[in-house]
């Protein structure tokens, strides 16, 4: 695809209302919708605008908050499907995700539903989601969705509180028959500012474990972890190696998680299925907030304009910040890295750390040109100003 003309994914935060209060929530979601939420008419206009990306429109991901908290969500989804726009839904696991809702979603032709599972135990998942019983409800929802024929994507956020359970989450996905594991590398925004992220070396270790996990029957891809694509390319180029930790300079976290993955799931069931499309915040992805503000991605709070006054198509194609991102005009290590087109670093993490969406990604341990990872994170750099 020509990412200068059209994204692959348009995320619409249909509402910030949600029955959960997750400790790491990007949206700082709450029980009631915020003032200024796009109306039904404005939402329908947005959907008509997204169709202008055609002739093959991007996938529209209806997210939140919890999109099922919007009483008009089925009307909105139906209009998108009538225009030929593929739809994905990212609901919360609450009583709203019942059989009647699933029947209506299936009838609208919605094929993919993503739900979040951040740990393999009630203590971990419920400690983050802050709702008793949500762990068992989530596992049950995964089984129901698979049984009804949906493509089931499970979203897991990697952070200090969850990282040791990644092999066990992989086992759960394999057990229930989930199709996609989308792993989010924490960016400290929203309520996530109070949650501890991993070090760059630990991110590298996790990326290698995720590559190995993708050989167990489900696709693995990442959010705000574009260095995963560099890792996948390196592992594919190296072929089968006896000791990846020695070959790639990996640390004790990799050794622990890789050993437990193999002990729990046994021998791989097929070739690794790691997705490595060269998208990043603002390149193949754009995000529309509940109030119509447009951002390069949900974790990158740099506003580009508002759909109430500007077309999301025009903003995506013409905004100078997105042009700079797509041209890989980065500073620091990302700007000189031989993998800057394949990877490009997390623009959201760069902004969270340095106030500059074009800075280097402090979560990446790679040293450009040296074919090795760094032992210490980079220092901050002077931010630049991007104007519309």
CATH label of the domain that carries residue 122: 3.20.20.70
Do the domain assignments include residue 308? no
What is the pLDDT, as a whole number, of residue 384? Answer: 47
On the 0-12 / 13-18 / 19+ scale of CB atoms within 10 A, 132 is: exposed
What is the pLDDT, as a whole number, of residue 128? Answer: 83
Residue 40 CA to its chain's centroid (Å): 26
d(CA 279, CA 275): 11
What is the pLDDT, as a whole number, of residue 279? Answer: 86
Do the domain assignments include residue 299? no
Gyration radius of the chain over CA positions: 20
More confident residue, 257 or 20: 257
As a whole number, mean pLDDT of residues 50-64 equals 94
d(CA 89, CA 113): 5
Do the domain assignments include residue 46? yes
Do the domain assignments include residue 62? yes
Do the domain assignments include residue 145? yes
What is the pLDDT, as a whole number, of residue 199? Answer: 95
**The residue count for the chain:** 388
pLDDT of 270-296, one tens digit each? Answer: 999 998 777 889 999 999 999 999 999
DSSP 192: G
What is the pLDDT, as a whole number, of residue 382? Answer: 44
DSSP 250: -
What is the pLDDT, as a whole number, of residue 190? Answer: 61
pLDDT at 142 over 80: yes
In which residue are the tokens 């924490």 written?
A: 186
What the block records as the tokens of 247 is 């070959």
Do the domain assignments include residue 111? yes
Taken in order 68, 191, 182, 173, is the CA torsion positive or negative? negative
As a whole number, mean pLDDT of residues 327-352 equals 95
Residue from 6, 101, 113 nearest 62 by CA: 113
Peptide bond into 65 cis (omega under 30): yes
As a whole number, mean pLDDT of residues 257-273 equals 95
pLDDT at 379 over 50: no
Residue from 116, 157, 142, 141 nearest 24 by CA: 157
pLDDT at 319 over 90: yes
Residue 89 near residue 62, CB atoms below 8 Å: yes
Average pLDDT in the chain:
91
d(CA 254, CA 236): 18
Q: Are strands 180-185 and 219-223 parallel, antiparallel or unpaired?
A: parallel
Which pLDDT band holds residue 380 (cuts at 50, 70, 90)? very low
Q: Where are the beta strands (DSSP E) in 247-350?
A: 280-281, 284-288, 293-295, 305-306
Do the domain assignments include residue 39? yes
- Show the domain range for 191: 9-265
Which pLDDT band holds residue 383 (cuts at 50, 70, 90)? very low
pLDDT at 161 over 50: yes
pLDDT of 99-132, one tens digit each? Answer: 999 999 999 999 999 999 999 999 999 888 778 8
Residue 166 CA to its chain's centroid (Å): 16
Which pLDDT band holds residue 46 (cuts at 50, 70, 90)? very high
Using DSSP's 3-state secondary structure scheme, residue 268 falls into: coil
Using DSSP's 3-state secondary structure scheme, residue 186 falls into: coil
- Domains identified in the chain, total number: 1
d(CA 242, CA 385): 47
Do the domain assignments include residue 74? yes
pLDDT at 387 over 50: no
């Amino acid at each position: 695809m020509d990412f200068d003309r059209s994204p692959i994914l348009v995320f619409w935060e249909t509402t910030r209302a949600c029955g959960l209060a997750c400790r790491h929530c990007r949206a700082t979601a709450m029980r009631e919708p915020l003032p200024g939420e796009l109306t039904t008419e404005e939402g329908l206009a947005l959907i008509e605008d997204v169709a202008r990306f055609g002739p093959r429109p991007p996938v529209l991901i209806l997210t939140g908050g919890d999109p099922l908290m919007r009483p008009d969500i089925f009307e909105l989804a139906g209009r998108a499907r009538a225009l030929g726009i593929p739809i994905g839904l990212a609901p919360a696991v609450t009583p709203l995700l019942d059989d009647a809702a699933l029947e209506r979603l299936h009838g609208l032709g919605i094929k993919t539903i993503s739900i979040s599972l951040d740990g393999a135990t009630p203590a971990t998942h419920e400690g983050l989601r802050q709702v008793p019983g949500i762990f068992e409800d989530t596992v049950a929802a995964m089984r129901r969705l698979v049984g009804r024929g949906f493509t089931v994507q499970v979203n897991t956020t990697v952070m200090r509180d969850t990282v040791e359970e990644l092999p066990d989450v992989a086992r759960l996905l394999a057990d229930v028959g989930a199709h996609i594991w989308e792993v989010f590398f924490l960016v400290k925004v929203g309520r996530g500012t109070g949650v501890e992220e991993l070090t760059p070396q630990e991110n590298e270790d996790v990326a290698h474990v995720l590559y190995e996990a993708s050989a167990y029957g489900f696709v693995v891809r990442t959010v705000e972890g574009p260095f995963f694509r560099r890792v996948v390319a390196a592992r594919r180029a190296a072929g089968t190696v006896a000791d990846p930790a020695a070959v790639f300079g990996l640390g004790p976290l990799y050794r622990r998680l890789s050993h437990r993955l193999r002990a729990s799931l046994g021998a791989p069931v097929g070739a690794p299925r790691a997705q490595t499309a060269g998208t990043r915040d603002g390149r193949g992805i754009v995000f529309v907030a509940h109030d119509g503000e447009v951002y390069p991605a949900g974790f990158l709070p740099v506003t580009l304009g508002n759909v109430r006054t500007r077309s999301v198509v025009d903003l995506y194609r013409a905004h100078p910040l997105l042009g700079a991102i797509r041209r890989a005009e980065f500073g620091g290590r990302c700007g000189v890295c031989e993998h800057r087109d394949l990877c490009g670093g997390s623009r959201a993490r760069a902004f969270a750390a340095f106030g500059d969406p074009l800075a280097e990604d402090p979560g990446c341990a790679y040293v450009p040109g040296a074919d090795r990872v760094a032992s210490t994170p980079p220092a901050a750099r002077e931010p630049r100003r991007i104007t519309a």
